Amino acid sequence: MSNELDRLLSPVRLAGLTLRNRMIKTATFEGMCPGGVPGDDLINHHAAMARGGVGLTTVAYCGVSPDGLTFPDQMWMHAGIFPQLQRLTAAVHAEGGAISAQLAHCGYFSRNRPRNIPRPRGPSACINQYGLFSGIPFGGAMGIADIGRTVAEYAAAASLVRDAGFDAVEIHMGHGYLLSQFISPALNKRRDAYGGLLENRMRLPLQVLAAVRGAVGRDFPILAKLNLSDGFKGGLDIEDACQAARLLEQAGLDAIVMSGGLVSRTPMFLFRGDSPLQQMVPLEKNPLQRTAMKWFGGASFPDLPFEELYFLELARQMRRAVSMPLVYLGGVSSADGMARAVNEGFDFLALGRALLKDPHLPHRLRHEGANWRSDCTHCNQCVASMGLPGGIRCVLNQPTVFA
């Protein structure tokens, strides 16, 4: 085990960037951008991750467009927040870490009224169940002009974050947001060049990758978060996910962060552990949405047993499919689990809940070695805490009353 942990904690190159170790704070929605502006809470959150020793910390859901947000207070990447972005990157660099921006667009999955179009749009016309009780019950189908504009928005956002001092970008292609909607056969019902066969469903993600590469340059690291599976029959499966990974590798992507599940249907496929629904319901401000969550939310948020490295078997299949760097995510909670993942050939490890519980995890791992185990209980109340003032937190560290 010592050899694997030594490798995990040693410096490594990712494209043109040197990271001090192979540990990545994965993007977990923070809820720390009041009015869409990165606040002190967000800066302190990521500075703490860097201070704790991660190689790379990832700022979650940096919208590429004001029409690509799921909540009113999410940030979208524009010149008006450039000084705050610079403060954020400077704070992480001062702690010796590197920082990535996760570029995202919600597609039709939104409760946020778009500014420039009549309704949210994705690959196909659909019922927008997420916005049903917010007066946005329908999602439209993107036209060719919409697609071209969106590709340009990704490129502009990538250029902005590079100029603001970010060290990498992660393109969100998972969890049922826009690019995932195009990739998933359950959500993409188009009959043109952007629908049908996987090669067509990957057309927009590949165009976005090419545009982002053109904006940031050859040596700037570009990662993508990609589902191994959507977590239900008829959605993206591991065979198509592996083929999607091959196409991304051929197109010059630097690394894939492997994930799974759709926020709209199968969020517990990603989280595992205890359902956070009981804590989420009282925080819902819309009374109709709150009632719907209370009576029907159990279908999307069932308790789902946690086991360490729960994505390992799916991730192994992707490891066999591509040669590019892969980031393992999913149930990393002990030194033994970390060593197993490294021994399986994964190049980086991404952690979310374990780092929320203990931002100093990398330093603790270096000190405790094979004896380290996370104190995270997988209660998932951190998921509910995203709706609280001040944003996401581990409730074991900061006792919280949700009612």
Point out the residues that are catalytic: 177
Write phi, then psi, for 191 (nearest 5 degrees): -120, 15
What is the rounded distance in angstroms from the CA atom of residue 341 to the CA atom of residue 153?
A: 36
Cβ neighbours around 197 below 10 Å, total: 10
Handedness of CA 261, 264, 265, 270 (dihedral sign): positive
CA dist 222 to 18, 103, 171, 370, Å? 14, 10, 7, 32
Helix (H, G, I), strand (E, B) or coil at 326: strand
What is the rounded distance in angstroms from the CA atom of residue 56 to the CA atom of residue 21?
A: 8
What is the rounded distance in angstroms from the CA atom of residue 28 to the CA atom of residue 120?
A: 23
Token pair for residue 306?
């946690």
Exposed e or buried b per residue across 146-176, where buried means at least 16 C-beta atoms within 10 angstroms of its C-beta:
ebeebbebbbbbbbbbbebebbbbbbbbbbb
DSSP 162-198: HHTT-SEEEEEE-BTSHHHHHH-TTT----STTSSSH
Closest by CA to 96, choosing from 169, 18, 30, is: 18
CB 376 within 8 Å of CB 73: no
Closest by CA to 185, choosing from 144, 149, 235, is: 235
Residue 373 DSSP symbol: B
Write phi, then psi, for 318 (nearest 5 degrees): -70, -35
Closest by CA to 311, choosing from 371, 352, 372, is: 352
Write phi, then psi, for 402 (nearest 5 degrees): -90, -25
CA 261 to chain centre: 11
What is the rounded distance in angstroms from the CA atom of residue 222 to the CA atom of residue 169?
A: 5
